[in-house]
Structure 1
C-alpha cells in the first residue's frame, strides 16, 4: 500500500495523538505571544529551499508525478468510509468533524464543530462575523432542506449616508459602512435545534482547545492572512481603526504568521466559551452584543445591539433543475445560487460530451452560458423580502432554450444583455455526512479577503464586509436599504439522483462559485470523472460580466477576461484566443472544492470524500 493512501485510510483518532504531541511540543518551545501578538514566529530547524510563488518553481513544462491509475491530473484518490465523512479546507477541522461523528454526533453537529474550528484556523475565509448557508439531506424526510443565515444591514444606516460615503458609486470594501449583521451563530443554533444530537456546548470544545493552544498555519492561509494585513495597514484604506485586527491576527510587527508559524487567538476562545454556555442569545442579546454595539459607537459605525437582537435565520426550499437525469439543488433567497441552475439549463441544449473534455468548444460553451446567466444575476438577484425576483422564469427550461440560441460555436456573443423578465415579474466550504445518511453542504464567509478589517474589542473575530455587494442605483432590486439583506455570493451545492442523495459539494470563491459548481457537474455528468478528478481537473474562470454589486473589475472590455489554469491544453488555449476570447493568466481565483458522495454497494451505504490541491485541507472518512 502506498504511504499516502495508507495515511488517508486511517481514522482521524489514530492521527490525533501524534498531532497533539507535535502541537504541545511546538507550543512549549515557542514563546507565548505578548501584548499585541496573535501568533508566534516560525522557527526554522531546516534550511528553506523555496518560497511560495518563487518563479523558478512555476514551470509550465513541469507537471505532477504520474499516478498508476486514474486521471493524469488527479492529485490523489478519494477516501472511502461506511459510517461518515468530512472534507474541509483545513486538516484539523476535518479531524474535528470526524471526531464529532465518532462520538455519536449528527452531520449537523459535525458541521457546526468544523465551522467553529475554521473560524480560528482559516480566518481568511470564515468566522462568526460572517454569514452561513446550508443544504441538508434529511434522511427521514428524504428531501433536501435549505437554511439561509444571512444578516441584514444596520437599521440606523440610511441610503443617503451610504451614498454620501460611497466610492465611485459603490460601497467601500473596508470599514463600518460594509458591515451587516453576522448570521453564522444563529444559523448554527437553528440547525442544531432541529438536527443536533450532541449537547450544544460539546461542539465548541475542539475549537476552544485549538484557539487556546494554537495551531501551525498552513501555507495558503498564511499567505492570505499576510496579504490582508498588508491591506489593513495601507494608508487611506478607509478603516476607522485597524489596531484590533493587527493585534488579533498579526505578530508584534502586524505582518501575520509565516507558513508553519503557530497562531493563537485567546480572545476568540473566550467568545466561543460564552456562546457554548449561553447559546445563540449570548451572541445576539447578551454581553457579546453589548460589546459589539459599544465598539461600533466608539469608531463611528452603525451596527447595534438592536440589529443583532432582531436577527433570525430562515428555512427555505431550494430551487432545482434537472440536468441530464441529475437533480441539482440551489438556494435562491439573496444568493447567486440560481446562476448555477441557469448555466446548466443553457448547457443542457448542447452536446458537451461530443465537444470533448477540455476542448475549446466545451470551455467556450460553458463560459458563454456563464456570461448570459451573470447578466441576469446583475439585473434580478436580490433579497426576495424587498424585491420580486422572477425565480421560476429565470430557471425555466423555456427561458434557457431562448438564451442558448444566442450562443455561436465559433465566436463570442457581443454584446450580452440580461433577459427581459415578464412584467409581473478569498469563503470557506465544507461537507460532511453521518452514519444515518444525513449529509450537510455548508458554506460560510466574511466575503472579500478576511472581511471588513474591523475586530471588536476583545472578541477575536472580524466582521464581514458583505454590505459592499449592495447596489446604489435607483430602481435596482439590490439597492441598499436599512434592514435589508445584501446580495450574497456564498452558495452550497447539492445533487440528487432518482430521489436519493448523490453529492454534497461546493466550490468556494466569490463569483467563481456558480462557475465552479457548473464545472463539477459537467465533469461528472458529461465527462464521467470520479469525485476527486472532477475537482482536480483544470478550471476556467471568466471575469468581467455586468455585476453592479461592488465586484466589477474595470478595464476588461466588452467580452471580459477568460482565465485558464495551466493544465488546460495549449491547443485549447490557442483555439479560444482565435475565437476572440481574451485569455488571462492564472491568478489563484479558481475556487476550492470539497465533496462528499453518497453511493450504494448493494444494501450498504458507502461515502466517498474528496478535497483538492488548491486549498490546505483534506477529506477523511471512516
Structure 2
C-alpha cells in the first residue's frame, strides 16, 4: 500500500493497526481515556470531548480550561466544523490600549486575554453528537486532577521552561495564582513526579454538572469577572454570557484526488489550501526531493503572505475566500515560483504552547480536534480558586487600524490552531493535524505531501524531518535532512539553519481508515505521543 523505499530518510517506526477504535494524542494517559470511553459505548465525539478535558490536566503546558478549540467532525457520512475560539472583550479597544502607551499587545497580561471557548466546545460537541452524558466524559479528567499523575518527559521540559520564563517576567500579584497552582513547590514538577490540582477537579466538576453553563453564566463566570475587575482586566459578565461556539462550513481543495479539509478564517487553515492550489500543477519525481522542497517552501511563503495580510474574523475579511482559493488565483501565484528563493509578498486576488489529537470509532465516525492556551500556559493569569489558566490569544491582534486583523471589541483574532481532515471520492480517509503556532500550516503541508506525493505510511509521513519558514528567505530545518538537499536549497538562495530543537517543528497525529475499514495510525515522535486502540 505504501512505499517509502526511495525516500531519503525512511522511518524505522511502523504505524499502528486496529479495527474497532483508535485514539492518537500527545499523552499516553489521554489516549487510554479515549479508548476507555469508546469501550463504554461512547463514539468518536465522546472520546474527543473526554480527551480534550483530560489534556487540560495532563498537559497544562499546552492548553487549559481557559483556552480555545476547533474541531472537524465526520459523523454519519457528513463533515462538520466547529469554531470555539473566543472574541475580544467589549471593553478592549485600540484607543484604550494606545492611551496606556501600548504599541502592541503584551503577551502576559489582561490585554491579551480573549473569551475562552474550550468549555463551550465540549458541551456543544457532547450535546450535538455524543452518546454519553458530559459528566461521564469529564470524569477521567476530574479523577486525574484529584489523584494526580506522573508528569511525562516532554511536558516536564516545557513546564520547566515556562516556570523559568514566568519567574523572570511575571512579578505582579496578578500572577500569584499561576505559581500557586502550577509550581506549588516553588518549581516546575519533574519527570515522573506526581502533580495534582483539586482546583482543576472542582472546576471540571462544575463544568460537567452544568454543561459548561457555570463557566459562562454561573459561579465560575462570577469568579472570572470578579478577578478581572479587581486586577485591571477587561472581561465582563456580558462577554461570557453572550459567548457561543459557531458551526462553520469546512473549506476544501482537491489535491491529486484527495479532498483536503480545513476550517475557514479566523483560523489559518486556508493557508494550507492556498499552498496546495499552487503546488497541484507541479509533478514531483521520486528522486527530485530538493526541487520538491524548494517548491513547497516557495508555495508556502506565497500562501503565508496572503494569509498574514487577509486572515482575521471572517465577518471582517476584506477579500472573498472563494477568490483566494480559485484556480485562477492559484495559477497566478504559481507563476511567481522560479529557480531561486523569492521574497514573499501578498497578492491581490481581485486583480488579473497547543494540543492536537484524532479519534475514530468502529462506526466510521472521526474527529480532528485542536485546543490551545497559546504560548504554552497562555497569559500567565490564573483565576484564583479555580485552576483556570487564561489564554493569551489576543496577542495576535494588531493595533494598526489599517490592518485587517486590527483589534475590535467582540472580534475574533487571527488564530493559529487548525484541525485538518482528508476525504477521497466522498469517503473519509481520516483526521490529521500538526500543532505548533505558525508551524501548523507548514506541518500540514509537509505531512500531506509526504502521505500523498511520496506515498509514505501514516507513521513515516509524521516521522520525516521537517522544515519551517521563519521570514523572508530564512528556513530552519531538522538535523536529519541530508546534506545534499540542504546544499541544493542554499544554492537556490534559501538561508538555511539547522535546528537541534525538535519542539520548533510541531507535533502531529493521523488516523487513516482504509477501504476495508481498518484504522492505521501514526503519532508524533517529537512528543510524549501515543496511540491507544482496540
**For the superposition of Structure 1 and Structure 2, which TM-score range results when normalised by the shorter chain?**
over 0.9
Report the alpha carbon displacement of residue 360 of structure 1 after superposing the two structures with TM: 2.0
- The alignment partner of 1:608 has SS state of strand
2:365 equivalent to 1:438: yes
Tell me if 1:125 matches 2:62: yes
**Counterpart in the other structure of 1:5:** none
TM-score by length of 2: 0.96
Match of 1:301 in 2: 233
Match of 1:413 among 326, 333, 342: 342
SS in 1 for 2:404: coil
- Contact kept, 8 Å, 2:8 with 2:482, in 1: the verdict is no
Partner of 1:611: 523
**2:105 counterpart of 1:171:** yes
| Partners of 1:226 and 1:461 in 2: CA distance | 19
Choose from 422, 437, 445 the match for 1:518. 445
* Structure 1 unaligned residues grouped into runs of 5+: 1-66, 545-557
2:421 corresponds, among 494, 498, 506, to: 494
Deviations 1:426-481 (A, max 9, x none): 21100001121110000000111210000001111210000000111122221101
Q: More deviation in 157-166 or 367-376? A: 157-166
The offset of 1:80, in angstroms, is 1.5
What SS class does the counterpart of residue 234 from structure 1 fall into? helix
Equivalent residues in 2 for 1:118-517, closer than 5 Å:
118-139=55-76, 142-165=77-100, 167=102, 169-235=103-169, 241-253=174-186, 255-354=187-286, 356=288, 359-409=289-339, 411-414=340-343, 416-422=344-350, 426-517=353-444
Match of 2:484 among 571, 576, 590: 571
Determine which of 496, 502, 507 is the counterpart of 1:592: 507
State the Cα distance separating 1:130 from its structure 2 match. 0.6
Unaligned runs of 5+ in 2: none
| Mapping for residues 72-91 of structure 1, pairs under 5 Å | 73-91=10-28
CA distance in 2, matches of 1:238, 1:155: 27
How far, CA to CA, are the matches of 2:30 and 2:99 in structure 1? 42
Cα distance in structure 1, aligned partners of 2:159 and 2:180: 13
Determine the C-alpha separation between the residues in 2 that align with 1:422 and 1:355. Answer: 38
Give deviations 1:565-588, integer Å, cap 9, x for gaps: 111101111121222211122232
CA gap 1:238/1:400 in 2 versus in 1, 3 angstroms: farther
1:166–1:353 distance in 2 versus 1, CA, 3 Å: farther
User: Take 1:597 and 1:484, find their aligned partners in 2: how far apart are those partners?
Assistant: 36
Q: Hey, what's the Cα distance between the residues in 2 that align with 1:421 and 1:347?
A: 17
Aligned-residue offset at 1:238: 7.9
- Report the CA distance between 1:388 and its aligned residue: 3.7
Could you tell me how far 1:311 is from its partner in structure 2?
A: 0.2
CA distance in 2 between counterparts of 1:154 and 1:353 reads: 51
CA distance in 2 between partners of 1:325 and 1:157 (Å): 45
- For 1:368, what is the secondary structure of its paired residue? helix
How far apart in 2 are the matches of 1:188 and 1:136?
13
Q: What's the CA shift for 1:422?
A: 2.0
Change (3 A) 1:144 1:240: farther
Classify the secondary structure of the residue corresponding to 1:352. Answer: coil
Q: Kindly tell me the number of residue pairs found equivalent between the two proteins.
A: 529
Structure 2 SS opposite 1:511? helix
Q: Is the 8 A contact 1:432 1:439 kept in 2?
A: yes
- Spell out, residue by residue over 1:130-189, the C-alpha distance to the aligned partner (whole angstroms, 9 max, x if none): 1100001122xx22110000111110122212234465x321111100000000111111
1:73 positional shift: 4.2
Deviation readout 1:512-536 (Å, 9 max, x if unpaired) = 1111001111011110000100000
Compute the displacement of 1:307 (Å). 0.7
**Aligned partners of 1:393 and 1:421 also within 8 Å:** yes
The DSSP-based 3-state class of the residue aligned with 1:534 is: helix
- Does the CA-based 8 Å contact 2:353-2:378 persist in structure 1? no
Counterparts of 1:389 and 1:174, CA distance in 2: 32
The Cα of 1:304 is off from its aligned counterpart by 1.9
**Is the 8 Å Cα contact of residues 159 and 482 (structure 1) preserved in structure 2?**
no
Please report the TM-score for the alignment, with normalisation by the length of structure 1: 0.82
Three-state SS of the structure 2 residue aligned to 1:382 is: coil
**Inter-CA distance 166–196: structure 2 relative to 1 (3 Å threshold):** farther
Structure 1 residue 620, shift from structure 2 partner: 1.7
> How many angstroms does 1:354 deviate by?
4.8
The 3 A distance-change label for structure 1 pair 240 and 542 is farther
Contact 2:63-2:353 within 8 A present in 1 as well: no
8 A contact 2:63–2:376 mirrored in 1: no
Distance (whole Å) between structure 1 residues aligned to residue 239 and residue 287 of structure 2: 52
TM-superposition CA deviations, 1:245-278 (whole Å, max 9, x none): 111111422x211111111111100001111111
For residues 68-107 of structure 1, the aligned pairs below 5 Å read: 73-107=10-44
CA contact (8 A) 1:166 1:172 kept: no
Q: CA RMSD in A?
A: 1.9
